[in-house]
A and B are shown apart, each in its own frame.
Chain A
Amino acid sequence: MTAVPSPRAADASPPLIEVNGLVCHYPVRGGLLRRQVGAIQAVSDVSFSVRRGEALGIVGESGCGKSSLLNALLRLVPATGGSFLYEGSDVLKMNARELRRWRQDVQLVFQNPFASLDPRMTVHEIVEEPLRIAGLFPRAAERHERVLAMLDKVGLDPQHGERYPHQLSGGQRQRVGIARSLILEPKVLFLDEPVSALDVSVQAQVLNLLGELRRDLGLTFVFIGHDLSVVRYVSDRIAVMYLGRIVEMGPRDAIFSQPRHPYTMALISAIPQARARQAARQRQGITLQGDPPNPADPPSGCHFRTRCWKATDLCARVSPELTSGGDADMHFAACHHPEPAPQGVEIGLPPGRSRAAPELRERQ
């Protein structure tokens, strides 16, 4: 597959991040000699690009490969194939020294602020550590100053620096995690479900903080999540993953107002919305049947066809490519029967919906 162009074809500047045909397989070993007996295709042929200053949201359910994608991009697990160009050089081919240099540019915010902070270090030590690892600012006083400035930036007090992680609330811990990832002044922040472990009221605080930091520091975000409403809030552009592949990608509002892939439609429809019952009832829900298939043994053709109400013989035979509606259209879907359906073609209807109600979501 060729690289998917960045959203604005007119934009002359090359993308900051360009992922081409990334593949990540985990070997399945078995038997007495631990021979490889198969492979879990965690990520198969994923391509996308992110422009400087843009926020790309990658959304999908557990097992869709979003975490493996992240680990492969950060070189925490080896990728099986493909390339990851960062400012033009391939990260997957970097040697240890280049990699160390690159890591100062790209940082990760972890999902679970209860597990990602070393319980035996103070907040100050945790935030300071990347500076010491990178060997920046050899004078302790200088480092101390930067740590205090960073704590202030994420909304923590200097006295929080003396605390240990277990003495902080979930929201405060995630602020510590964010401070740590920003201390090296990176250009790109990978965010791995950074608010999914937090209470809703705290979740909003942290999302606001992230938005503010992104604006102030001109950061590029790659935000991974399972909660569509959270991902939507953070992202300019969204990629939807299902069983190791991107099934739909496009500008945020296009994804939500006119989803083309049946899986995206189901995903949007499945989110319980906190609004009055009348509205909730009118919303025509799509309830998918069954569970996602085993990634070690994915279905032939389109991976989603086993749960799709539109599936035909074609879907079982040919794996659909990510295609857009036209040259200027930056909204891609990998489906043989994308919405809106071409005139005169009869295909199955989503469960719980009638022809008379074609809008997925009624607008308020």
Chain B
Amino acid sequence: MIGFKTTSGGEPLLEVEALSVALGRGAGAIPIVADLSFQVRPGEVVAVIGESGAGKSMSALAIMDILPPTAGVTGGSIRFMGEDLLTMPAQRRRMLRGSRMAMVHQDAPTALNPVYSIGWQIAEMFRVHRGATAADARREAIALMKKVGLPNAEERAGAYPHQFSGGMRQRAMIAMAIALEPAFLIADEPTTALDVTVQRQILDLLVGLQQERGMGLLLITHDFGVVAEVADRVIVLYAGRVVETGTPDAILTNPAHPYARALAACVPHLDSSVETLPSIPGMSASLATAGPGCAFAPRCPLRRPICLETRPALREIAPGRRAACHFSEEVLADDSRAVA
């Protein structure tokens, strides 16, 4: 089970300022993420939540500098341990990636190389970044496999990805990500492809390692349940922009943005017995199709003329909470609609 943790103070590990990402270049570029700002401190779990097309994965890829070739960062800055990632030489950034910052992807058939054994792929981290000998690297890899709970590590080190189950592959990916003891880890939908009983194991493992090592963890997910259990802070994205940030408790019990409220309410609860699930009418907008006003306005029950004309700024509505809605106070004050 996951214990309480307090946000440790000190310098932020990662500072993202006004980050914008677009697909394509020049006049025809399609904006995907706009004006994204947040910080992750050591030992902190920050969750980015949103539906498909909200831009959450693209933001993560931009931070790791592994955007697809057609996409690029069009503005803003990303500072990691005080250094600006976007202006530093590619060589330096490549060195940071893997050793100081790492990423765990959604379990996909392509995430591990099918022609090398799991042990070899984990050991590769030590050989490439530390210049370890083959024997040393193998020893370290086996120790790491034990650490992430892969049974019979000595024997299984020679096994190939297709011989592993989804959960075990995800453990192997986590082992590779934490091999060089990074200070900062991005987990992009790490449990989405897994069964619920396995999902719980992987979440516990990730957060356990994060706490043990005091890593900063950026967790990208679409699942409010996962957020509620592990995150210290939540960033809710809609159509490429931040609509609300705050603690999971605050957002779950009393959201300040209509989208955050609706999203939390849509999830069928195990103990609710409603005849009709609350749902959000219409379909998700994207940054490119959003009008001049608030991107959520066409689907928002509180919509007023101003919402379609002026985009609400992300503003502080309570200590540690920010929301981008003209009527956040109204949403907050309405206790009767609180989502438990």
Counting residue pairs across A and B whose Cβ atoms lie within 8 Å, the total is 140
Q: State the CA gap A287–B267 with chains docked (Å).
A: 22
B277 touches A228 (CB 8 A): no
Given contacts A61-B195, A200-B51, contact A285 B200 (CB under 8 A): yes
A201 touches B51 (CB 8 A): yes
Contacts of A287 in B (CB 8 A): 1, 197, 200-201, 204
User: Is A277 in the interface zone, CB < 8 Å from B?
Assistant: yes
A364 touches B340 (CB 8 A): yes
User: Is B38 in the interface zone, CB < 8 Å from A?
Assistant: no
A361 touches B224 (CB 8 A): no
User: Is B300 in the interface zone, CB < 8 Å from A?
Assistant: no
B226 touches A199 (CB 8 A): no
B270 touches A291 (CB 8 A): no
A208 touches B267 (CB 8 A): no
Q: State the CA gap A273–B228 with chains docked (Å).
A: 7
Closest to A266 in B: B197
Q: State the CA gap A271–B249 with chains docked (Å).
A: 18
Contacts of A352 in B (CB 8 A): 1
User: Is B262 in the interface zone, CB < 8 Å from A?
Assistant: yes
Contacts of B276 in A (CB 8 A): 208, 211
Q: State the CA gap A287–B1 with chains docked (Å).
A: 8
User: Is B52 in the interface zone, CB < 8 Å from A?
Assistant: yes
Which single member of B166, B222, B262, B268 contacts A207 (CB below 8 Å)?
Answer: B268
CB distance from A290 to the nearest CB of B (A): 7
Q: State the CA gap A315–B225 with chains docked (Å).
A: 34
Best-buried of A274, A287, A361 by chain B (most CB within 10 Å): A274
Q: State the CA gap A207–B275 with chains docked (Å).
A: 11
Listed stretches B20-28, B67-75, B90-98, B278-286; interface member: B278-286
Contacts of A364 in B (CB 8 A): 271, 340
User: Is A17 in the interface zone, CB < 8 Å from B?
Assistant: no
Closest to B204 in A: A287
Which single member of B168, B200, B224, B277 contacts A291 (CB below 8 Å)?
Answer: B168
User: Is B6 in the interface zone, CB < 8 Å from A?
Assistant: no
A229 touches B268 (CB 8 A): yes
User: Is A25 in the interface zone, CB < 8 Å from B?
Assistant: no
Which single member of B165, B226, B262 contacts A201 (CB below 8 Å)?
Answer: B262
Q: State the CA gap A199–B52 with chains docked (Å).
A: 7
Contacts of A67 in B (CB 8 A): none
Given contacts A232-B268, A290-B151, contact A275 B228 (CB under 8 A): yes
Which single member of A169, A211, A228, A288 contacts B270 (CB below 8 Å)?
Answer: A228
Question: What bracket does the count of chain A residues touching chain B fall in?
Answer: 35 or more
User: Is B128 in the interface zone, CB < 8 Å from A?
Assistant: no
Question: What bracket does the count of chain B residues touching chain A fall in?
Answer: 35 or more
A274 touches B252 (CB 8 A): yes
B249 touches A288 (CB 8 A): no
A363 touches B284 (CB 8 A): no
Residues of B267-304 whose CB lies within 8 A of A: 267-271, 275-281, 283-284
Contacts of A61 in B (CB 8 A): 195-198
Contacts of B200 in A (CB 8 A): 270, 272, 285, 287-288
B229 touches A272 (CB 8 A): yes
Which single member of A205, A233, A276 contacts B253 (CB below 8 Å)?
Answer: A276
Closest to A273 in B: B225
A291 touches B340 (CB 8 A): no
User: Is B37 in the interface zone, CB < 8 Å from A?
Assistant: no
Given contacts A61-B197, A274-B225, contact A201 B280 (CB under 8 A): yes
Which single member of B168, B264, B284 contacts A199 (CB below 8 Å)?
Answer: B284
Contacts of B270 in A (CB 8 A): 228-229, 232, 256, 268, 271, 273, 361
Contacts of A203 in B (CB 8 A): 266
In the complex, per-residue mask of A289-304: 1 if CB is within 8 Å of any chain B CB, else 0:
1111000000000000
B195 touches A226 (CB 8 A): yes
9 A-B residue pairs with Cβ-Cβ distance under 8 Å, sorted by A, are A203-B266, A232-B268, A270-B200, A272-B203, A272-B228, A274-B252, A275-B228, A277-B248, A361-B270
Q: Which 6 A-B pairs have the closest CB atoms?
A: A272-B225, A274-B224, A204-B279, A61-B195, A201-B280, A199-B51
Apart from the given pairs A233-B277, A272-B228, A276-B340, 13 other A-B contacts in the complex at a CB distance below 8 Å: A201-B284, A204-B280, A211-B275, A226-B195, A267-B196, A273-B225, A274-B267, A275-B269, A277-B248, A277-B249, A278-B249, A288-B197, A291-B168
